[in-house]
Amino acid sequence: MSVRPLVVAITGASGAPYAVRLLEALVAAERPIQLIVSPHGLRLLRTETEVVSIDALRDHIGARGWDAFVTTFDDGDRGAPPASGSALSAGMIVCPCSMGTLSAIAMGSSRSLVERAADVALKERRKLVLVTRETPLSEIHLENMLRVTRAGALVMPAAPGFYHRPSSIDDLVNFIVARVLDHLDIPHSIAKRWGGEGDE
């Protein structure tokens, strides 16, 4: 039986390096990916990384791995496979997840493929991981987080820990991506695990 694809969405919250590292890790793990990048997500990739286009993202990840495991879909195409519950998937990750996207998912508005695919994940009781990135949080943000959590999503704010003594931005990015991979049951060794007080 073939491995079901993971739907990965990149939206317009600050945190594009998390998305790039997540894609690298998923391709390295040889997991099929259905990738959706919103227009604002692409703008943030340009602003926060050296990735200026989807083609540049393919080059960064590596053409061989990308072509073997990544399928891209336009965010405006609500007829694409991630929009249908009958198209099987292993779940969905929105990384990073903007507060606008969070709001749309919480309300079930489904105006774009990202929003519809998240709606599908919830209605089909599949994993939905939302890597939110905003600070401070308003009461509306918190209410939306509670609403999606009650509907079955996992809200994972991009708030890296420091017990592993990070020495670079990459260490901080890896911390969050490792937590995402854990919740997707994907083995990895990209970040140090807590082993108890005084762990070295």
Q: Please tell me the pTM assigned to this model.
A: 0.94
Tokens at 185, concatenated = 């049951």
Q: What is the pLDDT of residue 197?
A: 58
Cβ contact 92:129 at 8 Å: yes
Backbone angles phi, psi at 3, to 5 degrees: -75, 130
Q: What is the pLDDT of residue 196?
A: 60
Q: What is the pLDDT of residue 200?
A: 46
What CA–CA distance (Å, rounded) separates 105 from 134?
A: 16
Q: What is the pLDDT of residue 195?
A: 76
**Looking at domain 6-183, which of 3.90.550.10, 3.30.1390.10, 2.60.120.620, 3.40.50.1950 is its CATH number?**
3.40.50.1950
Tokens at 196, concatenated = 């108890």
Show the low-confidence residues of the chain (pLDDT under 50): 199-200
